[in-house]
Amino acid sequence: MHTPVHKKKEDTMEVRIQDIHFDASQQLVDYINTKADRLARRYPTLDYLDFTLTLVKPQTQQNKEVRVKAIVPHRGEYTATKIADTFEEAATLALEAVDSQLEKISARK
């Protein structure tokens, strides 16, 4: 099954959005890109963000899952997966979790 991939490249950070079992709206893609840009401004060494959006069970609540993978050169890979009622909420929660992980490595410098 082919899954559409939405890519955005600005300067050195790449944002990849993969939607599984549904087609992401442009509004959702724009929302995620905006959130990713904010994170990239806080952590300029951030090289790559990969979002995987999955519609888990179409007929239930809490059925939108977002997995975020962040890659920081020479520091590693950081991931978070969150489930919520909306993709926007799940993406926000997952990015907050990744932000927390990145904050910890920044504090260790």
Q: Residue 42: give its domain's CATH number.
A: 3.30.160.100
pLDDT, average across residues 45-73: 90
% pLDDT > 70, the chain:
88
pLDDT in the model for residue 96? 96
C-alpha angle with apex 33: 92 to 93, nearest 5 degrees? 10
Is the pLDDT score of 1 beyond 50? Answer: no
Mean pLDDT of the chain: 86
Query: What domain range is 15 assigned to?
Result: 5-107
Is the pLDDT score of 92 beyond 60? Answer: yes
Higher pLDDT, 8 or 78: 78
pLDDT in the model for residue 19? 92
Total domains in the fold of the chain: 1
Is the pLDDT score of 37 beyond 60? Answer: yes
pLDDT, average across residues 5-17: 66
69-74: Cβ within 8 A, 24+ apart:
70/39, 70/46, 70/98, 70/101, 70/102, 71/46, 71/47, 72/43, 72/45, 72/46, 72/47, 72/102, 72/105, 73/45, 73/47
